[in-house]
Chains A and B, each alone.
Chain A
Amino acid sequence: EDQVTQSPEALRLQEGESSSLNCSYTVSGLRGLFWYRQDPGKGPEFLFTLYSAGEEKEKERLKATLTKKESFLHITAPKPEDSATYLCAVQPWRGAQKLVFGQGTRLTINP
């Protein structure tokens, strides 16, 4: 069964304190791995797609990396506005177009 586990469940950082979020996955065949950001009361907002091991994508203070078993979302010098829940999802080759999500990491950046 396709499965995604994110850690930690919650993370509290000081402004400027860099860290990484982990997404471990098991999937029959990986079509793509996606990172989303979700603010309270809102829908997930697309950040990155990664397709193959070794791939990296960057956007402002965020960088996503991918291996054969896990993905990391690195946050460099975060600001309070980076506070949100970060969701990881895999899209298997089998099962049409659905995304299988992890439970998310709730990130809080204190000023």
Chain B
Amino acid sequence: DTGVSQDPRHKITKRGQNVTFRCDPISEHNRLYWYRQTLGQGPEFLTYFQNEAQLEKSRLLSDRFSAERPKGSFSTLEIQRTEQGDSAMYLCASSLAEQGGNQPQHFGDGTRLSIL
């Protein structure tokens, strides 16, 4: 069973640059989530897709952040004009929507972003 895959694992960039992360969910999962985690804290929700539709966005997701999930498969998260405060681990998770069910979210190992 292939888990959630994220690429790259690490990204170091200068302040003001744009970065893009990719997430490949578990193949049969139709729901995909992005979270952000800073040191010593739990993950914070950013956004959520069901198939290709982006159904919810957190207040944390400023205009510099954009996420897509073309064709309901992999997803990308882009951050434009990066700032020091964007340094964090960006986690992707996926789950299977079932009628009447509440399937757990399964996480990838994240992309660690460092802003110089």
- A binding-site residues for B, Cβ under 8 Å: 4, 31-32, 34, 36, 41-46, 49, 51, 87, 89, 91, 95-104
Contact = CB atoms under 8 A, between A and B. Distances in A.
Contact of A34 (B41, B104, B108): B104
21 contacts: A4-B42, A42-B110, A43-B107, A43-B108, A43-B109, A44-B43, A44-B107, A45-B107, A49-B102, A87-B42, A95-B56, A97-B48, A97-B50, A97-B55, A97-B95, A97-B105, A99-B33, A99-B35, A99-B105, A101-B43, A103-B41
A42 B104 contact: no
B interface SS class = strand
B106 interface: yes
Task: Rank and list the top 7 A-B pairs by shortest CB-CB distance, nearest first.
Answer: A101-B42, A43-B107, A98-B45, A96-B56, A46-B104, A43-B109, A44-B107
Contact of B42 (A41, A97, A104): A104
Interface in B45-76: 45, 48, 50, 55-56, 58
Contacts, number: 65
Contact size range, B: 20 to 34
